[in-house]
Structure 1
């Protein structure tokens, strides 16, 4: 019996410690043991951020997913350049403006580049809050220009003219 007691002692200790940890996790939240509700899309966009260089060497906080995407594109030396101002939270996502374009963060956390005449047409159509919704892919080249695909349509820039199609 002495061997059995020694063999079960670690299991009993682990059980007691586990129960204690669960009980302690509820402290500070009303003592109910419940966990906090997950962050909303807006909270994720605005609180999960990192500073990057902005105008006049100031630091601007932008969502981590946007900063990662910008960094992969080349950061300050990319076609986008530096951040120009604070992030605009919209429809559960955000738009971060750079010197030569924007990165749109979707509610699911995906970051897409929108720039040039396509960006101008997208913003005129209401951006993410408009009929087109969020981008679903990066801008791609096509015969005679560029095209961007959105949740509810496309914007093409062909032969010097924007063409907006909403489904």
Structure 2
């Protein structure tokens, strides 16, 4: 065993042990920073929204489909299966550090920062035609909103309006 291995092996064991202790801790135990909490080394990682936990919801033919929790929460806020989105039609599609989950009545787009926005109807069709999150528009910055004569949806790189039966995409 060379010197570097002898030095790094105990460090690796300490990190793995610390991670295991964090993973095994319960929500009932002392919180981090609490004097009663054990000193446990923590690892800092950067994760995209799609690596967050998922939850099953009923999909086609009553089969469970795993979707990101933030999307499931947003869908539930909007009435779940009885809301305007209806039932999920398939699993999340990972894209550009986020995800898109399709429903019978539209889609919920999960941004890399974990925010979930609804895109529907002709605006959704125009968004997909423009490349969706991977295109020039990028991710939504808000849910669709009503405007005089139609709808508007804002994105990192532009806006889509649906006015008087016509969808218009404007990029920055």
Q: Which moved more, 1:47-56 or 1:105-114?
A: 47-56
Q: 1:78 aligns with which of 61, 83, 101?
A: 83
Name the structure 1 match of 2:122. Answer: 117
In 1: Cα distance, 2:129 partner to 2:85 partner: 20
Distance 1:117 1:155 in 2: 10
In structure 2, which of residues 159, 168, 171 is the aligned counterpart of residue 166 of structure 1?
A: 171
Q: What residue number does 1:40 align with?
A: 47
Secondary structure at the aligned position of 1:156 is classed as strand
Length-normalised TM-score, structure 2: 0.76
How many pairs are equivalent? 140
- CA RMSD of the aligned region, Å? 2.0
Which stretches in structure 1 are left out of the alignment for 5+ residues?
A: 1-23
The separation in 1 between residues aligned to 2:130 and 2:60, in whole angstroms, is: 27
Question: As a proportion of its length, which structure holds more helix?
Answer: 1
TM-score (norm 1): 0.78
Counterpart of 1:163 in 2: which secondary structure?
strand
Cα separation, 1, equivalents of 2:115 and 2:16 = 35
2:131 matched residue in structure 1 = 126
